[in-house]
Amino acid sequence: MSEVVTYQREGAVGVITVNYPPVNALGHAVRSGLLAALEQGQQDAEAKALLLVCEGRTFIAGADIREFGKPMQEPGLPSVVETFERSDKPIIAAIHGTALGGGLEMALGCHYRVALDSAKVGLPEVKLGLLPGAGGTQRLPRLAGAQVSLDMITSGNFVSADEALQNGIVDAVESGSDVKAVGLAFARKVIDEGKPVRRVRDLNDKVDAEKGSDIFDQYRAGLQKKARGLFSPFKCVDAVEAAFQLPFADGMKRERELFMECMESPQRAGLVHAFFAEREVSKVPGLAKDTPVRDVNSVGIIGAGTMGGGIAMNFANVGIPVRLLEVKQEALDKGLAIIRRNYENTARKGRITQAQVEERMALIQPTLSYDDFADVDLVIEAVFENMGVKKDIFGTLDKVCKPGAILASNTSTLDIDEIASATRRPQDVVGMHFFSPANVMKLLENVCGSQTADDVKATVMAVAKRIKKVGVLVGNCYGFVGNRMLHQRGAEATKLVNEGASPQQVDKVLTDLGFPMGQFAMSDLAGIDVGYRIREERRKAGEDVPASWMDKLAEEGRLGQKTQAGVYLYEEGSRKPVVDPKVDALIAEFRKEQGIEPREISDQEILERCMYVMINEGAKILEEGIAARALDVDIVWIYGYGFPAYRGGPMFWADQVGVKEIYDTVKRFHDTLGGDQWKPAALLERLASEGKTFGSL
C-alpha cells in the first residue's frame, strides 16, 4: 500500500484517504496509490460504499504540475478517473478546501459529491495554458450544461460550494469542518437508501438538450478580445463543444488530442514557469525563512495623488487603518474624493457593498500634520520624484516616527541609500515601489538599501502578501529592476521613432507580442511629465541625456491621458489612443531640427531593439545581483508591466528565443548603433558561449 493513499474501513464504508502535502496533487505515487486503494475497497466484502477524502488543507488541487513536460508515468489520470467511475460500488467524494483541475475531475469520476460549505471547485487548467485533460470537459457539461462549463473552463475561475450545488456539480453541501464525518454520513445515506451507482458519463440529458446550440461560436467570438493571443481558451471551447457533438468515449478522445496540443505549446511552458516563479519570489535567497517580522497594524501615507490614493486603498481593503497626509487641504479633499469615486465604481459593478465602501473610507483618515505619524508602524512616502523633497520628508519622519517604524519610499527610480541618509535610522528605510494603478497592479517591488535590516526586508515581503500583492525583493540602483529595463526600452523606442518608425508602429509590435499596451500608450497612461521630469533631473545631475521629441510633447503640455493628449489623443472619458497628425508633424519637425533623414524600419528591427535591449539590461541586473534570480525579473515584468504571462517573462522568453541569438544581435547593435545599452552584458556573453540559459543559473 502506498504511503500517500491509504484504505481503511469504517463500518460499511471503505475510506480511501489521500495524504500528499501540501495540496494532494495527483503525482505518480498518488495516482497509483488511488488505484491500489480502490482495488482493496472492491475486494473488501464488508464495504458497501467507498469514500474518497483528503487529509490536510485541501481536497486534491489538481495534477502535479511539476510532472508537466516530463514523460508521463502510467497510470495516467484519465484512466484512474475512469476506473473509479466503472466501480460497481458507489463512490462518494467528500470535498474540502479546493477541488481543482484533476482533483475536480477525480470527484466527477465518483458517483456522488458532497462538499463543505467553505469549499470551492474549479478547472483552472486554462491558467496554465491547458484544458482539463482527465474528462473534465466531457463530464462537467453533463452535470452543469454548456454555459456554466464554458464559463468555468475558459476562465479557470473557482465557484463556491453553494454555486456548485445550484449547478449540479455537487449533490450536497454541509456546514462544519470535519470533512470525513460529512463524507461518512453521506456514504451511509447512500447505503441505507440503496442509491445506485450514478456514472456522470451516462447522464446525457443536458448535452442532448443543447446539441447544435450556437453558444460555442458566440463564446469563441467573445474570447477574441478577452483571450487575445492565448491558445488554450479556444481549445477549451472546442473540447466542451465535443461533449455536445460526440458520444462520451469519442469526446474523451477529442479532449485528449486537444489537451496534448496545449501541453506541447510554448504557452503552457511559459504559464507553468510563471506559476512556480510567482511562488518562488517569496523565498528570498539569503533571507532566512524564520526572519522575524515587525507588526504592521497602521500605516501613514504621504501624498494623496494617484499613487498615494491607490496605495491607501490597498491597506484599507484588508482592514489596515491609514493616515493619509497632504500639505494642503484642497489636495487632501481631492485625493479622498477620487478614492471614494473608485470605491463607488467598484460597488456599482457589484464587487463590494455600499457598507464596505463606507468601512474602507472610514479606515482612511486624512491629516495635514506629520504629528499624526507619531505611532504608525509603517510610513510610505508617495510624492513626486525629487530627491530634495524626499530627503526633507525623510528628515521629518526621522524626527516624528516612533523607533522601529518602517520608513518606505515609493520612489520608482531614486537612490534608497541617499534617501536613507536623511535619517539616523537607515536600517529602517526601504523602497516599496507600487505600480500604477496601485490599487490594481499586483506587483510590489521592494527595494533594499545597503543598510536595510533583514527584519525590515522580511516585513515588507509579508506586507505584500497581506495586501494581496506579489512582492519581489530587489537591490538598489537607478530604476531598480522594472524601470531600469523599461527606461532602456523607452529610450530605444523613442530612438526608433527618431529614425523613422511611427509611435503606433512601435506600439503595435509590442501589443502583437502580447503586451496590453505599447511603450507610448503606456507613457500616456503614466503621464509624459513623469519621464520628462526624470530626464530633467538626470540632465541637472550632469548626465548626457539626448533631446527627444517626447520632451517637446511635455513642453507643449501634452502630458498624456490626463490632458487628453500626449503621444495620442483621447476623447473625453475614453482611454482609447487615437493617432494625432499633429504628433506626426511634431516628430517630423524634430527630425528636421536634428538633421535626421527618416528611413523605413521593419517590425523585426523594432522587436529586437525594444526587447533585446531589455534582456541585455536584465542580464546586467542579474550579474550585479540587483535581482537574485531570472525568475524575479520575470515576475516584475509580468505583474508590473503586463508582460504576457504565457511567454513566461522577459528572461524566460529570452531562453526560448535563444540566448546565443540574442547575444549575437546585441553585439551587432553595439557595433552598428553604439551606446552603453548595447554593450553585451558579461553574463549574456558567458551564457551564450557556454550554450546555457538564464533558467540554468
Q: Which chain residues interact with ligand 3HC by CB under 6 A?
A: 22-23, 25, 61-66, 77, 98, 100-102, 105, 124-125, 128, 130, 132-134, 136, 276, 279
CB of 67 to ligand 3HC, least distance (A): 8
Which region holds residue 322: left if phi is over 0, alpha if psi is between -120 and 50, else beta?
Answer: beta
Beta carbon nearer to ligand 3HC, 132 or 366: 132
Q: Are 91 and 49 in contact (CB under 8 A)?
A: yes
Please indicate whether residue 125 is annotated as part of the active site. Answer: yes
Beta carbon nearer to ligand 3HC, 31 or 360: 31
How many Å apart are CA 396 and CA 382, to the nearest integer?
15
- Which residues, 6+ apart, have CB-to-CB distance to 27 below 8 Å? 20, 64, 66, 67
CB of 167 to ligand 3HC, least distance (A): 19
How many Å apart are CA 602 and CA 402, to the nearest integer?
58
Choosing from 125, 255, 326, 608, the catalytic residue is 125
Q: Are 596 and 479 in contact (CB under 8 A)?
A: no
C-alpha cell at 55: 487529509
In the chain, helix, strand, coil percent, each to 5?
Answer: 55, 10, 35
- Which residues, 6+ apart, have CB-to-CB distance to 152 below 8 Å? 122, 123, 140, 144, 159
571 φ, ψ to 5°?
-75, 155
CB of 308 to ligand 3HC, least distance (A): 29
Beta carbon nearer to ligand 3HC, 54 or 339: 54
Beta carbon nearer to ligand 3HC, 79 or 574: 79
C-alpha cell at 142: 453533463
CB of 259 to ligand 3HC, least distance (A): 7
Q: Are 378 and 356 in contact (CB under 8 A)?
A: no
Choosing from 105, 278, 326, 492, the catalytic residue is 105
Beta carbon nearer to ligand 3HC, 66 or 424: 66
Tell me which DSSP letter residue 63 carries.
B
CB of 268 to ligand 3HC, least distance (A): 10
- Which residues, 6+ apart, have CB-to-CB distance to 99 below 8 Å? 58, 59, 60, 61, 93, 106, 107, 115, 119, 120, 121, 122
Beta carbon nearer to ligand 3HC, 264 or 690: 264
Beta carbon nearer to ligand 3HC, 94 or 456: 94
How many Å apart are CA 349 and CA 95, to the nearest integer?
31
CB of 23 to ligand 3HC, least distance (A): 4
CB of 489 to ligand 3HC, least distance (A): 31
Catalytic residues: 105, 125
